[in-house]
Structure 1
Amino acid sequence: MTPNGLVPHIDLGPLLPELPEFLAGLLLLGLMWIIVAKAVAPRFEQLYEKRSSEIEGGIQHAEQVQAEAAKAREQYQAQLSEVRESAAKAREDAKTRSAEILRDAKNEAAQEQARMIAEARAQIASEREIAAGQLITQVGGLATTLAGRIVGESLDDDERAKRTVERFLKELENQPARNQTIGK
């Protein structure tokens, strides 16, 4: 400021615009402003909106894909859980079935063993009876021969020989019983 309180005037010289040039510049500036505001800015806004909507659509698509992936993962987990449960059930069924098979095999083996023992006992009893019959026949023959020699007469008569053998066997049967009571 100058001492008289006025703003000093700066002399721009040739750079100082003339009034008509200044007004023309302002008019062109206003015209450019209107053109930019009416034509260029809406185009920029449209491009901005288009890009924004594409980005939003991409984000929504990405979220949708994520949601589908999460759903697929849940289905996979559910199927995996079902498969695990099925496998566990199959293992339990197999264990149960193997226990049943083992129990049945043991029962069959026990029955077969009992049958074989019964057959063996029956065979032993049969062979014992056969052996006893043969022994009785042999002992009877020897007894009649011996008795005939002792008595001095022939015991060729079958009835007489049979009675003699039966009496001899009865005496033999009674004899071990007496020996057992004496030993006690």
Structure 2
Amino acid sequence: MTPTTALLAAEDINPLVPATYDIVWSFVCLIAIVFFFWKYALPVFKKVLAERTNAIEGGIARAEQAQVEAKAALDKYNAQLAEARGEAARIRDDARAQGQKIIEEMREQAQQESQRIVATGQAQLAAQRQQIVAELRADLGRTAVDLAERVVGESLADDARRSGTVDRFLDELDAMSGSARATTAGE
């Protein structure tokens, strides 16, 4: 046996259990540390945690407020967009209506111009017809007098007689052509 082993055996001390003075001084140190921690460190930790909690809760509140404002802005934007779409649709409808009105006005003007041109053409045609009829009457009168002079054998140079004969002849022709038209129309 060695002397340390003998000493241990003589005192009957357990090596796993510390000595009483170590336990007392360790307890005193622990109390001092707990007091220091409780008095100085714990309030600082509580203060920092409270600030962080306030910051987080404030951030959440600000985020919720910003979300509410964003939703209001989105609703306002959507309302303005719907209003703008309605305005655009109204403008398109107005433009279509104005386009239709312009087309109708142009169509009416074209019809009036067409009617004016047709009326002018008919007037010119009637004037030309009258001129041709007058020329034909005069020419037909001269031809009729020449034929009558040849048939009768005497001169019909007297203007008064000649004019009366020509007028009578033309009236008879008009009467014949008028009855021929009436007969053709009746069929």
- Scaled to the shorter chain, the TM-score interval is 0.7 to 0.9
Q: 1:182 to 1:17 in 2, by over 3 A?
A: closer
- Tell me, which stretches of 5 or more residues in structure 2 are unaligned? 1-11
CA RMSD in angstroms comes to 2.5
Q: What is the total number of aligned residue pairs between the two structures?
A: 173
For 1:11-90, list aligned pairs within 5 A: 12=14, 15-18=18-21, 24-90=25-91
- Which residue identity is paired with 2:20? P
In 1, Cα distance between the equivalents of 2:96 and 2:149? 77
Which residue in 2 is equivalent to 1:105?
106
- Which residue identity is paired with 1:87? A
- Which residue identity is paired with 1:17? T
Q: 1:99 to 1:69 in 2, by over 3 A?
A: same
In 2, Cα distance between the equivalents of 1:134 and 1:46? 127
- Which residue identity is paired with 1:53? N
In 1, Cα distance between the equivalents of 2:89 and 2:107? 27
Are residue 129 (structure 1) and residue 130 (structure 2) matched? yes
In 2, Cα distance between the equivalents of 1:55 and 1:65? 15
In 2, Cα distance between the equivalents of 1:177 and 1:70? 92
How far is the alpha carbon of 1:178 from its aligned partner?
Answer: 5.0
Of the structure 1 ranges 61-70 and 108-117, higher mean CA displacement relative to structure 2 is found in: 61-70
- Tell me, which stretches of 5 or more residues in structure 1 are unaligned? 1-9
TM-score, length basis structure 2: 0.80
In 2, Cα distance between the equivalents of 1:177 and 1:59? 108
Q: 1:179 to 1:93 in 2, by over 3 A?
A: closer
- Which residue identity is paired with 1:16? A
In 1, Cα distance between the equivalents of 2:114 and 2:183? 41
Which residue in 2 is equivalent to 1:141?
142
Identity %: 34
Which residue in 2 is equivalent to 1:5?
none
How far is the alpha carbon of 1:32 from its aligned partner?
Answer: 2.9
Q: Which SS does the other structure have where 1:85 is aligned? A: helix
In 2, Cα distance between the equivalents of 1:50 and 1:182? 121
How far is the alpha carbon of 1:99 from its aligned partner?
Answer: 0.9
Identify the structure with bigger relative contact order (alpha carbons < 8 Å, sequence gap 6+): 2
